[in-house]
Amino acid sequence: MKKERRKEILDFLKEIDAFKSIERKIYLPHSNRYENDAEHSWHLAMYLILLKEEFSEELDYAKMLEFAIIHDLAELYAGDTFIFDKEALKTKEEREKKALIKLLEKLPPTIRERVEKLTKEYEERKSEESKIVYSIDKLQPMVQNLLSQGRDWKEHKITYTKIDANKRPRILNPIIKELYEDVMEEARKHDFFFKDEKKEKEKKEQ
């Protein structure tokens, strides 16, 4: 490996260390701090490791792990966007596109091209590998809410109906869909969702 390439790789690794400081709007259990992007990406990789035997052997498993690790890299500069923040969602795509270009230009060309290709495939969600990782990405924060007893859902006034309408269409793999149903059932059983008492009262009065 040439010295210039070594330097570019080391510089990039130093740059993305800040990924550990990018907060998501998901509380860690038994803590007052938010989960960060590095923890989230690691957790997705763990889901894949534990679920490996459930997926077809024909799938590119190494690629799925790469998706898990790189899928949020743009947030290093763009920040995490809360899925129920309507205003922030309007600019999310453009912000993350610019951020990714800025970040990847620091890489050696061959690595940059590979990461760009992986990012494009993941965002298109056409391959089964990308659908699986995307689905896990939507499931993981729900499991975090089980651990925090629905702290984020209650704090942001997110009801069962609101979560289901947002998440269900984004669970694109049948195996992850089964896990999704289990999580929803557990959350509902323990009253982890925000309850809109006004709407509940209106329903009873009808």
Q: For 177-193, give one letter per residue: b (16+ CB within 10 A) or e.
A: eebbeebbeebeeeebb
Q: Domain range spanning residue 161? A: 3-201
Return the closest-CA partner of residue 50 out of 63, 61, 60, 59: 61
Q: Is residue 99 part of a domain?
A: yes
Predicted local confidence at residue 135, as pLDDT? 98
Write out the DSSP string of 67-93.
HHHHTTTTHHHH----TT-HHHHHHHH
Number of domains making up the chain: 1
Place of tokens 């149903």: 181
Predicted local confidence at residue 200, as pLDDT? 52
Return the closest-CA partner of residue 18 out of 82, 66, 88, 75: 75
Q: What does DSSP assign to residue 170?
A: G
Predicted local confidence at residue 201, as pLDDT? 47
Q: Is residue 206 part of a domain?
A: no
Predicted local confidence at residue 142, as pLDDT? 97
Low-confidence ranges of the chain (pLDDT < 70): 197-206
In degrees and rounded to multiples of 5, residue 34 shows phi and psi of -80, 155
Helix (H) or strand (E) holding 24: strand 23-27
The chain-wide mean pLDDT, for the chain, equals 94
Q: Is residue 139 part of a domain?
A: yes
Amino acid making up residue 200: E
Q: What is the CATH number of the domain that holds 112?
A: 1.10.3210.10
Q: Is residue 36 part of a domain?
A: yes
What is the maximum span of the chain, computed from C-alpha positions, in angstroms? 74
Predicted local confidence at residue 198, as pLDDT? 54
Q: Is residue 150 part of a domain?
A: yes
Q: Is residue 95 part of a domain?
A: yes
